[in-house]
Amino acid sequence: MEDIEKKWNDLISELQPNFEEELSLKTILFLIGVQELGQGIKDFDKEEKTYLFHIAICKLLSPFGYYRFKMIDEDGWPHYEETKDMEKLPSREQKLLMKEAIISYFQ
């Protein structure tokens, strides 16, 4: 756990100089969602932003067996199916798993 927190802080320190506002888990999830969508930076509506978070979470947790890639729809949006229920994990463990997945994503 301490190792994950150290790696997390190191990652934030590495990424932070590229951004004006302080990076948070939510901000990084949004950025990963935009990256995985692959349509560049543009104005997203509220529903699209929510789905970008979903894309990021699915992509990050696929290697851990929580989601499986299904398809890309006609608008270029990826779709995943849930294979394991993350909600069964306590919220602290969910957050640690997300941090671990993000660290892996950037390595």
In angstroms, rounded to a whole number, what is the distance separating the alpha carbons of residues 76 and 38?
A: 8
Residue 89: the pLDDT is 85
Give average pLDDT by consecutive 10-residue segment, the chain, 107 residues.
89 92 92 93 92 96 95 94 88 91 94
pTM: 0.87
Q: Which pLDDT value is given to residue 1?
A: 67
> How far is it between the farthest Cα atoms of the chain?
43
2 CB contacts (<8 Å, ≥6 apart)? Answer: none
**Alpha carbon distances (Å) from 21 to 1, 12, 86:** 26, 12, 29
Residue type, 26: K
Residue 69's H or E segment, with its range, is: strand 67-72
